[in-house]
Amino acid sequence: MSKATGALLTKLDLPEGTLDNVPCIRIFGRNTAEIENHRGVLEFSDSKVRLHTALGILSIAGTELRICCADKQTVVCTGEIAAVEYESSR
C-alpha cells in the first residue's frame, strides 16, 4: 500500500485493506458468514464452502451450509458454522 493510500485510510478512519482486494470476513453468531472481496466459489456442499481470495483459499466448514446470497464481491453463507480458516499453501 502506498503512503498516500495509508494516509487516506487514516484520515477517513478506515481499516487497512479497505481499498485493496483484501477479503473482509464478518461472522454473525454461529449461523452467518459474510465474505467481501472474494474471487469466486471453488466448492460448495452442505458441509463445506471454499472461496478463492487474494490471500488464498478460505474454507468454511459446518452443517446445513447454504449460500443465500452471492454476487461479484460478496458471498453470504448460512447454516451451522463450525470453522472458518485459510487453507495452508503448499
User: d(Cα 60, Cα 2) in Å, to the nearest integer?
Assistant: 32
Is residue 16 assigned to a domain? no
30-61 per-position pLDDT tens digit: 999 999 999 999 999 999 999 999 999 999 99
- Answer whether residue 7 is part of any domain: no
pLDDT higher than threshold 80 for residue 73: yes
63 falls within a domain:
yes
The parent domain of residue 37 ranges over 21-86
Lateral strand order in the sheet of 32-36: 24-28, 32-36, 74-86, 56-70, 48-53, 38-44
What is the rounded average pLDDT of the residues 62-71? 96
pTM score, whole prediction: 0.79
